[in-house]
């Protein structure tokens, strides 16, 4: 007999109902009980499968499907128990029970190691606590998000206000810049007009002084008295000094100050060239010094008078040396020194206002007045010539 015949051929076997003597009560009891158990077994897998299908978020759902297969197999064994009451299909029933046994063993083997993991899953109370905590966190996050939105709204409003103020201030600054530019243009134009007027004034003053010089020259030509001619010559030198100051200012950049060093070189050289009758050597050592009109005119007049005096009195019949020095003192004052190696004067040393000679000439009076105008002091020494030193306060330029 083959194994298939052994499993699926019921011939020669007696149905299970025969064992029950075909007693109607017993057959109905067994058949009804197995039918109810089979229906219950078949309904439970359906519920489990529907639950697993709806809760796909659950872990280990494969266990549910394993239980579904096991319970279906159990239900099928009960159906076969009903069938074998009348048909002795014990081979098929045995195969189904074998499948049921294998499923039950597999379920048991896989379920026991899974129990710790299932136990570790949070309980409903724990899930409820987690849900409450999560809800609280969500509420806190929503509150934080609301605060952030409110902060963003306030920041946005502040930014708009700041932009508005910046725009207003920018407009004000532009207007102010426009006003300042206009005022600057007006001031620049006024300064240019002032410069033009000042240059014109200096030019006209210089021209007028040149006219005066020409008139003096013409007048001196009409005079026979040598003293009168000498007086007009001294006056011409003073006029020249005034004209030279205005010429320096006219050529300066700011029309207010100029470097007095080149001025002293030119002034001294012109006086010596115009008044020396013998070989006179001139030496000018002038430190750079920016001066204005109020300082340059009296200083230039002083140099004119002192150099003229040296030419007139120091070298009556011989050559000699004249030195003009302008130096800056350590205390910030200015020293003017005019010296010669001529015959000198009778007095060895004299100061302005002290032991004055009985007769005071025009030049001496002019020198005294100019020193007083500059608020300075003068010292004169006559040793191997004459040395006149005048100390004045350095000019303060605004």
195 occurs within a structural domain: no
Q: Does the model's pTM come out above 0.75?
A: no
Q: Which two tokens stand for residue 66?
A: 């394993």
Q: Which domain holds residue 336?
A: 258-398
90 occurs within a structural domain: yes
196 occurs within a structural domain: no
49 occurs within a structural domain: yes
129 occurs within a structural domain: no
DSSP 290-336: EE-HHHHHHHHHHHHHHHHHIIIII-SSS-EEEEEEEEE-TTSEEEE
156 occurs within a structural domain: no
Q: Could you report the per-residue pLDDT of 21-79, keeping only the tens digit for each? A: 888 998 899 989 999 998 988 888 888 778 777 777 777 677 778 888 888 889 899 99
Task: Between 188 and 305, name the one with better pLDDT.
Answer: 305
Q: Could you report the per-residue pLDDT of 251-295, keeping only the tens digit for each? A: 778 778 889 999 999 989 988 888 766 688 999 999 999 998 889
Domain boundary at 120, 143, 161, which? Answer: 120
- Report the pLDDT value the prediction gives residue 350, as an integer from 0 to 100: 41
Domain boundary at 93, 120, 147, which? Answer: 120
How many CB atoms neighbour CB 342 within 10 A? 22
21 occurs within a structural domain: yes
C-alpha to C-alpha distance for 394 and 385, rounded to whole angstroms: 28
pLDDT at 380 over 70: yes
Q: Could you report the per-residue pLDDT of 196-231, keeping only the tens digit for each? A: 776 677 677 777 777 887 877 777 777 777 777 777
- Report the pLDDT value the prediction gives residue 398, as an integer from 0 to 100: 63
Question: In a 3-state reduction of DSSP, which class is residue 87?
Answer: coil
The helix-helix angle for 226-251 and 260-275 (nearest 10°) equals 160
Domain boundary at 120, 135, 165, which? Answer: 120
Structural domains counted in the chain: 2
Burial degree of 119 (CB within 10 A; 0-12, 13-18, 19+): exposed
- Report the pLDDT value the prediction gives residue 337, as an integer from 0 to 100: 94
pLDDT at 194 over 50: yes
Please list the alpha-helical segments (H only) found in the chain.
Answer: 3-8, 16-19, 24-54, 61-83, 90-120, 124-221, 226-251, 260-275, 293-309, 362-373
Q: What is the CATH number of the domain that holds 340?
A: 3.30.565.10
Q: What is the DSSP letter of 394?
A: P
217 occurs within a structural domain: no
Place of tokens 């015949």: 5
Q: Could you report the per-residue pLDDT of 308-352, keeping only the tens digit for each? A: 888 888 887 778 899 999 999 888 899 999 999 988 654 334 444
């Amino acid at each position: 007999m083959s194994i298939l015949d052994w499993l699926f051929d019921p011939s020669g076997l007696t149905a299970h109902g025969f064992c029950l003597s075909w007693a109607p009560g017993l057959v109905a009891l067994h058949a009804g009980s197995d039918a109810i158990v089979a229906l219950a077994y078949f309904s439970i897998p359906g519920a489990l499968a529907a639950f697993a299908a709806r809760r796909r978020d659950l872990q280990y759902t494969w266990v549910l499907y394993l239980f579904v297969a096991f319970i279906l197999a159990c239900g099928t064994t009960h159906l076969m128990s009903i069938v074998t009451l009348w048909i002795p299909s014990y081979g098929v029933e045995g195969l189904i029970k074998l499948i049921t046994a294998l499923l039950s063993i597999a379920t048991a083997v896989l379920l026991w190691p899974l129990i710790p993991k299932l136990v570790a899953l949070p309980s409903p109370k724990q899930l409820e606590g987690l849900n409450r905590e999560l809800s609280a966190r969500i509420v806190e996050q929503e509150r934080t998000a609301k605060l952030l939105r409110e902060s963003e709204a306030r920041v946005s409003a502040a930014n708009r206000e700041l932009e508005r103020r910046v725009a207003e201030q920018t407009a004000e600054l532009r207007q102010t810049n426009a006003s300042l530019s206009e005022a600057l243009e007006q001031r620049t134009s006024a300064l240019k007009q002032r410069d033009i007027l000042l240059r014109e004034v200096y030019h006209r003053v210089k021209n007028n002084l040149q006219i005066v010089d020409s008139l003096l020259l013409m007048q001196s030509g009409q005079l026979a008295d040598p003293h009168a001619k000498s007086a007009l010559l001294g006056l011409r030198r003073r006029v020249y000094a005034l004209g030279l100051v205005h010429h320096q200012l006219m050529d300066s950049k700011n029309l207010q100050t100029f470097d007095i060093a080149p001025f002293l070189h030119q002034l001294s050289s012109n006086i010596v060239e115009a008044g020396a009758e013998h070989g006179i050597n001139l030496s000018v050592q002038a430190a750079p010094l920016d001066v204005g009109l109020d300082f340059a005119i009296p200083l230039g007049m002083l140099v004119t008078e002192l150099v003229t005096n040296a030419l007139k009195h120091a070298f009556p019949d011989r050559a000699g040396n004249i030195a003009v020095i302008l130096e800056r003192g350590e205390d910030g004052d200015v020293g003017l020194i005019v010296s010669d190696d001529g015959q000198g004067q009778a007095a060895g040393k004299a100061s302005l206002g002290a032991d004055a000679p009985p007769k005071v000439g025009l030049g001496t009076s002019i020198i005294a007045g100019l020193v007083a105008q500059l608020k300075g002091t003068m010292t004169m020494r006559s040793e191997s010539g004459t040395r006149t030193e005048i100390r004045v306060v350095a000019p303060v330029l605004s």
